[in-house]
Amino acid sequence: MDPISAAALAALAGGVGGEAGRQAWTALSVLVQRPFRRGEADGEAGALVMGSGEAELSALAQEPGELERAQRLSTVLAVRAVLNAEFRLALESWWEQAQLVRAGEGAVKNEVSGGRQYGPVVMGRDFSGLTINGQGSVGPRGVAADSHGPTEPGPDGAAPSATGG
């Protein structure tokens, strides 16, 4: 597992990401507070040499702008993950979720204005696995739009003929 970015830890400690960021920080706090006893380390002596990360987590929470504190927490998490396979799996799972919290990067402002939209309009950010099925552009009342814009149905509701009559 790659070390968790100090910048990401500092951002989460500072409240980036709104509610999702707060939840990620709380989940990390719960994870770090899990007991880290000598017998839990994959290598027996590991737990005796280092702490659980609680002190580093608390220090970063007090001063989220201090990247040195964030780096210390990142280091403790990485070492603990190496020493304890169960912790490593839990930390990897947490990190996958925490990476979804963004610091407003690539903020999206969706706006549709002017004209008529006769097909799907997809608004949002970071889509994945999206499939839109359709038969091209459809005008009002389900009448196909020609290359010159939407066509208006005739008085009987049928589409105008190709010959114009």
Helix and strand numbers (H, E) in the chain are: 6, 0
Judge whether 135 lies within some domain. no
Q: Please indicate, yes or no, if residue 82 is contained in any of the structural domains.
A: yes
Establish if 65 belongs to a structural domain: yes
Which is nearest to 80 in space by CA: 45, 36, 44, 39?
36
* Predicted TM-score of the model (pTM): 0.57
Tell how far CA 158 is from the center of its chain.
47
Tens digit of pLDDT for each residue in 102-119?
Answer: 645 556 677 888 888 777
pLDDT tier at 151 (50, 70, 90 boundaries)? low
| Assigned domain for 107 exists | no
The percentage of the chain sitting over the pLDDT mark of 90, rounded to a whole number, equals 37
What's the domain count of the chain? 1
Is the residue at 125 inside a domain?
no
Range of the domain at 16: 6-98
CB contact at 8 A, 42 and 83: yes
